[in-house]
Amino acid sequence: MKFKVSVVGAGNVGATTAQRIYEKGHSDVVLVDIVEDMPQGKALDLLESGPVIGTDAKIIGSNSYDETSNSDVVVITAGIARKPGMSRDDLLLTNMKIVGSVTEEIAKRSPNAILVIVSNPLDAMVQHAYKISGFPKERVVGMAGILDTARFRSFLAAELNVSVTNVSAYVLGGHGDSMVPLIGSTSVGGVPVSSLIKPHRLEEIVQRTRDGGAEIVSLLKTGSAYYAPSAASAQMVESILLDKKEILPCAAYLEGEYGINNLYAGVPIKLGSSGVEEIIQVDLTEEESIALKNSADSVQELIEIMEKNA
Ligand code: APR
């Protein structure tokens, strides 16, 4: 029996996420968007790639939520994306309304699903989806850390001319300017990165990671990144469905872990068939702890703005 995955928002991130999941073949996929006929067109195009890819999974597009009923995982990418000069936070109130209404529709029809939130500003959107869905915290999780970490890892691999698979790194905290790359836990082939790259150069790479989303926005001009975000989203979906229990940096609801309370923040988690199965506590330096706390404070500010506008 195949799994059922719904992807809401059939734009750049949603459609590429649906494609990546569909091509794996383990899940039937439902792609939903408010734009008439567009998700149907993209889903049909993907379905017609099946014989070439060699997948017998089904994929359909819809403008209604009824087809999403009883999904195992729902990925929410609906909303507006950044344009040059905008920060993720500029999307807050528009995407809050969109993510709120989508979550309501989904929660009614798939009460046992695990929600993977992708819309930005990520940490605030996942907190909002958690509140609106009424789901347990284990079943509402946000995609950001894998993407930030992948950017960091790819820059480090290019710098040192080594395989990306040999670079292990964690980027924690909010998905924004306050993200916290853990230099002490970053290594290349087991060797600490700080003994391979000089501090000032490492700082430049960290800054490029922080600005990674904006760098793509300024190049694309009409939208934001989607290949790497969809790869990260699909990895989360697969770790859940196949109960892989991968340890991945994701936005999870914290109740005291890392000294953060009642707030979503990017931390390493174990992701399996129950959703967030464990929050992994890594030792932080004092500087990293302060940076993570500051990052949580900026997410809290967004939550307060949302509460005032609810
Ligand atoms: N219900 C369903 N779909 C919606 C709704 C809604 N209420 N409102 C908007 N959408 C759809 C749009 O019609 C569009 O097709 O969401 C899609 C968003 O797609 P894009 O504009 O291509 O944006 P994308 O690059 O996919 O980014 C989506 O993910 O990474 C984040 O910051 C990004 O918040 C943004 C989201």
For tokens 């004092």, the residue is 286
Residue 129 sits in a domain whose CATH number is: 3.40.50.720
- Model pLDDT, residue 88: 84
Q: DSSP letter at 68?
A: G
| Ligand 1 pocket, residue 79 CB under 6 Å | yes
Q: Which two tokens stand for residue 141?
A: 């999780």
Please tell me whether residues 27 and 164 are part of one structural domain.
no
Same domain, 127 and 149: no
- Residue 80 CA to residue 275 CA, distance in Å, equals 26
Q: Which numbered atom of ligand 1 lies nearest the CA of 98? A: 7
Q: In what helix (H) or strand (E) does residue 115 lie, and over which residues does it extend?
A: strand 114-117
Q: Are residues 112 and 96 in the same domain?
A: yes
Give the pLDDT confidence score for residue 227 in this predicted structure. Answer: 98
| Domains in the chain, number | 2
pTM of the predicted protein model: 0.97
- 132 and 175 share a domain? no
Q: How far apart are CA 240 and CA 236, in angstroms?
A: 6
Pocket test for ligand 1, best of 13, 87, 92, 120 (most atoms within 8 A of CB): 13
The pLDDT, as a whole number, for residue 177 is 79
Task: Write out the two tokens for 110.
Answer: 């798939």
The 10s digit of each residue's pLDDT in 239-273 is 999 999 999 999 999 999 999 999 999 999 999 99
Do residues 210 and 104 share a domain?
Answer: no
Q: Which domain holds residue 151?
A: 145-308
Order across the sheet with 3-8: list the strands: 59-62, 27-32, 3-8, 73-76, 114-117, 140-142, 246-255, 261-272, 275-279
pLDDT value at 197 more than 80: yes
Atom of ligand 1 nearest to the CA of 82: 32
- Select from 85, 116, 142 the last residue of a domain: 142
Q: Ligand 1: does its nearest atom lie under 6 Å from the Cβ of 223?
A: yes
The per-residue pLDDT for range 124-138, each reduced to its tens digit, is: 999 999 999 999 999
Of residues 175 and 297, the one with the higher pLDDT is: 297
User: Which CATH number characterizes residue 214's domain?
Assistant: 3.90.110.10
Angstrom distances, CA of residue 90 to CA of 28, 53, 87, 130? 34, 39, 5, 21
In this structure, are 177 and 132 located in the same domain? no
Do 157 and 126 belong to one domain? no
What is the position in ligand 1's atom list of the atom closest to the CA of 35? Answer: 13
Average pLDDT, the chain: 95
Q: Answer yes or no: is the C-beta of 65 below 6 A from any ligand 1 atom.
A: no
Domain boundary among 107, 142, 177: 142
- Ligand 1 pocket: which of 7, 32, 33, 227 to mutate (most atoms within 8 A of CB): 33
Phi, psi of 278 (to 5 degrees): -165, 145
Is 175 a residue of the active site?
A: yes
Structure tokens at 33: 């968007």
Residue carrying structure tokens 């999403």: 68
Q: Which tokens go with 194?
A: 């700080």
Q: Do 150 and 117 reside in the same domain of the chain?
A: no
Which tokens hold the place of 253?
């609801």
For residues 235 and 205, membership in a common domain is answered with yes
> Same domain for 133 and 39?
yes
Q: Which of 93, 124, 142 is the last residue of a domain?
A: 142
Q: Are residues 41 and 169 in the same domain?
A: no
Mean pLDDT of 274-296: 93
Q: From ligand 1's centre to the CA of 16, what distance in Å?
A: 12
Q: 43 with 149, same domain?
A: no
Q: How far is the CA of 91 from the centre of ligand 1 (A)?
A: 11
| Ligand 1 center from residue 33 Cα (angstroms) | 8
